[in-house]
Amino acid sequence: MDAIDVIRAKRDGLELTPAQIDWAIDAYTRGAIAEEQMSALAMAILLNGMNRAEVARWTDAMIRSGERMGWSALDRPTADKHSTGGVGDKITLPLAPLVAACGAAVPQLSGRGLGHTGGTLDKLESIPGWRAALSNAEMLDVLASTGAVICAAGSGLAPADRKLYALRDVTGTVESIPLIASSIMSKKIAEGTGALVLDVKVGSGAFMKTVGNARELAETMVGIGRDNGLNTVALLTAMDRPLGNAVGNALEVTESVEVLAGGGPADIVELTVALAREMLDAAGIAGKDPAEALRDGSAMDVWRRMISAQGGDPDAELPVAAETHTVTAPAGGVLTSLDAFGVGVAAWRLGAGRARKEDPVSAGAGIMCHAKPGDRVTAGQPLLTLHADDAARFERALEALDGAIGVEEDGRPDLLPLVIDRIA
């Protein structure tokens, strides 16, 4: 086949044939299609979309570009969760051990942060000694001994997606719903989990800004999962304000441990329990209530074993940033808004995130939120504490927060419900 013919077909709004899709993914993975040609095809897909058959075939071709994992050696069913990313989204940290404490095995392949969205692996790497890179055999050992593992995907898992994602990131094609859906689902299906729950974020701090777009993405991914025999459910959840109070790496680990200890912010607890119930139901497990597993300490026990099994010290002190700066309420009244995107960009500029995948991150950098939208505040009351290793970072972070905070005397926040919808 010829790359130009495939590009022209999608440019002109035609449906790509299975043979065209198989060839394009295989040839690009092998290096037989030039980067500029795949860039053109990705842009044509962004502009003209794909139908369900095309998305299913594209996903299948990416799965077949690498290995498929399996967990038949385990004595319990498997369930996984994927979040489309947000600000303060630390849910994976308490969720994986919680679901494991209730009887499922959780093989959680996670990623790193980019831009204003945090990465699960970056957060966990703030724990001294913890390792993200595990072999397949090590993953199985950790799963068998603890019930949960959170680690990086190996290079053999959907290599076509790894290459295509990097290209989309620099060509303005990240937002394509077919390409987002196939990227996520190719890795999750190749991972071999028996059930999958998708947490599709909606709002300023998410890739999907509107409920309509988030629903389209969720329905596309659920369809891909079902077409591949994977029991898949999606929740649409709010990302118009930060989740919890902590935004940053070590800060979010500390907050996650508070949740596992039976405390923590109400929104983190609510969403963690909701997702845990969905995962257990999708895996066919009934019995133990996830809320009880947080209260009785069994989820904390799994967390400690999981962290230790991956080389980490669950009792170690976490890194702390050298400098802090307090942002106070400009007036008295009701905190009507705390924009997730603004807070996320500020945390990124403080050092908690990265602009490029190869950039380092600061374990201690980030933001602690001392009030949530809907709270009544007084003038001069601390709203945020900024944490950074270098005080010179505060100026740019404060610029990102300009307009992100709203306080009105008799205002009322216009917020999305934490759980907006369920797609199954």
Q: How far apart are the C-alpha atoms of 197 and 195, rounded to whole Å?
A: 7
Q: Of the listed 163, 168, 188, 387, which one is catalytic?
A: 168
Rg (CA), the chain: 21
Whether 187 is catalytic is yes
Whether 325 is catalytic is no
Whether 183 is catalytic is yes
How far is the CA of 174 from the CAs of 42, 182, 332, in angstroms?
9, 12, 40
Q: Of the listed 89, 161, 227, 339, which one is catalytic?
A: 161
Indicate the burial class of 11 (C-beta count within 10 angstroms; 0-12, 13-18, 19 or more): middle
Scored b (16 or more CB within 10 A) or e, 94-122 reads bbbbbbbbbbbbbbbbbbbbbebbbbbbb
* Strands 333-338, 323-328: pairing kind: unpaired
Matching residue, tokens 């295989």: 26
Q: How far apart are the C-alpha atoms of 344 and 240, rounded to whole Å?
A: 11
Q: Of the listed 82, 112, 163, 241, which one is catalytic?
A: 82
Whether 201 is catalytic is no
- In this structure, the number of other CB atoms found within 10 A of the CB of residue 176 comes to 21
Whether 161 is catalytic is yes
Q: Of the listed 81, 112, 187, 201, which one is catalytic?
A: 187
Q: Of the listed 83, 182, 183, 256, which one is catalytic?
A: 183
Q: How far apart are the C-alpha atoms of 209 and 74, rounded to whole Å?
A: 39
- Which residues are identified as catalytic? 82, 161, 168, 183, 187
